[in-house]
């Protein structure tokens, strides 16, 4: 949360945010963050390996107003998503270990479901 609503970019440029604006930034690490930036941030870190993607999927699918659509999406999810994620991230196809697929951008299972 930015208390002064002033965002300073890496190049020194400053952007003042209006009162009604909120900013949420998701980063993979704090390698380039200054101590001042870290001290001003409220952070919650959850390792994607520990949480997984199921809670995010369930929250989204349960927010769909049409119950029939929600059920159909859940069936498709259960049939395809875990197997696809296992294939991409771990190289597991039909229970057999193979080579992991190469991705241009590093992905977690949560990135692929979201």
Regarding whether 31 and 1 lie in a shared domain, the answer is yes
Residue 57 reports pLDDT greater than 80:
yes
70 and 106 in one domain? yes
Q: At CB < 8 A and 24+ separation, what contacts does 44-48 make?
A: 48/108, 48/109, 48/110
Task: Please tell me whether residues 14 and 54 are part of one structural domain.
Answer: no
Same domain, 70 and 88: yes
Q: Are residues 30 and 54 in the same domain?
A: no
For the stretch 82-93, pLDDT in tens is 888 888 888 888
DSSP state of 8: E
Are residues 36 and 54 part of one domain? no
Say how many domains are in the chain: 2
Q: For residue 85, how many other CB atoms are within 10 A of its CB?
A: 19
* Mean pLDDT across 74-103: 88
33 shares its domain with 57: no
pTM of the model as a whole: 0.53
Domain that holds residue 2: 1-45
Mean pLDDT score across all residues of the chain: 82
Residues 53, 103, single domain; the answer is yes
Task: Judge if 62 and 26 occupy the same domain.
Answer: no
Q: Lowest-pLDDT range, 9-23, 30-44, 98-112? A: 30-44
Tell me: do 17 and 36 sit in the same domain.
yes
Q: Domain check: are 52 and 107 in the same one? A: yes
106/59 same-domain check: yes
């Amino acid at each position: 949360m930015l208390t002064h609503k002033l965002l300073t970019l890496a190049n020194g440029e400053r952007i003042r945010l209006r009162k009604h604006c909120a900013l949420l930034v998701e980063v993979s690490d704090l390698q380039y963050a200054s101590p001042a930036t870290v001290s001003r941030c409220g952070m919650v870190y959850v390792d994607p390996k520990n949480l997984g993607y199921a809670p995010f999927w369930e929250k989204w699918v349960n927010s769909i107003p049409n119950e029939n659509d929600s059920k159909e999406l859940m069936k498709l999810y259960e049939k395809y998503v875990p197997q696809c994620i296992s294939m991409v991230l771990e190289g597991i196809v039909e229970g057999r270990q193979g080579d992991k697929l190469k991705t241009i951008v590093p992905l977690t299972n949560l990135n692929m479901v979201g």
